Structure 1
């Protein structure tokens, strides 16, 4: 069964919406930083979930990566 994040990433990949995936990745990275700096709760489960989201998002971005030699590398990032 697919997780919600997998369904969202899959939709953005089908739409070739790299910007949306990059935005999702940035938000997850910010969340990771916030969770690492918290001391009021045990963030382990949340950290694992966010890391899994990032893994799925990165896989989606890889699917949208242009073939080697078709686009200058600096235009991809």
Structure 2
């Protein structure tokens, strides 16, 4: 995850800030839904990037879950 979202997720995981990660994931999900609803524009690349961001965020949440059970 060398991209910007990876660094953001890393920071939130380091701070153990589940709320910030949940908010970030919800914002990305809403953005994806809004872009999918657009007509007249090809947003496939942007939507794909947003979905990759969501995967990275969920991986961060999973790391927090692993830390909580350890």
**TM-score normalised according to structure 1 size:** 0.83
For residues 12-63 of structure 1, the C-alpha deviation after alignment (integer angstroms, 9 at most, x for no partner) is 0000000000000000010011011001310100111000000000000000
2:33 matches 1:38: no
d(CA) in 2 for partners of 1:40, 1:29: 21
CA RMSD of the aligned region, Å? Answer: 1.4
What stretches of structure 1 of length at least 5 have no aligned partner?
A: 69-77
**TM-score normalised according to structure 2 size:** 0.91
Flag the structure with more relative contact order, 1 or 2, with Cα contacts below 8 A and sequence separation at least 6: 2
Paired residues in the alignment total: 68
Asked which structure has the greater CA Rg, the reply is: 1
What stretches of structure 2 of length at least 5 have no aligned partner?
A: none
